[in-house]
Amino acid sequence: MGGTVFSAPPGTPLLDYVEAAYPPDHSDYPILAALVDNELRELTIPVQRDVMVKPITLSSSDGHRIYRRSLVFLADNRR
């Protein structure tokens, strides 16, 4: 959220920050990943220092690619 600062202990998963900033019930699209200091990262990474975060949703091209790739992994694991 434009310029809002969130803080938590070092090692807190990125997902915790994203859920605080963008509650799931207030979005038309799920957040699948995030750009952390302009690097595409999964939401499970622990945040160890101050970072800039931009969420990646299913509405973006990166979001579509992440979603498709996830479906491929799920389908492949069903064998």
Q: Is the pLDDT of residue 47 over 90?
A: yes
The three-state DSSP-derived secondary structure of the chain is: CCCCCCCCCCCEEHHHHHHHHCCHHHCCCCEEEEEECCEEECCCCEECCCCCEEEEECCCHHHHHHHHHHHHHHHHHCC
pLDDT at 32: 92
Q: Please compute the mean of the pLDDT values over residues 74-78 and round it to a whole number.
A: 76
Split at pLDDT 50, 70, 90, the class of 24 is confident
- Over pLDDT 90: what percentage of the chain? 52
pTM of the model: 0.77
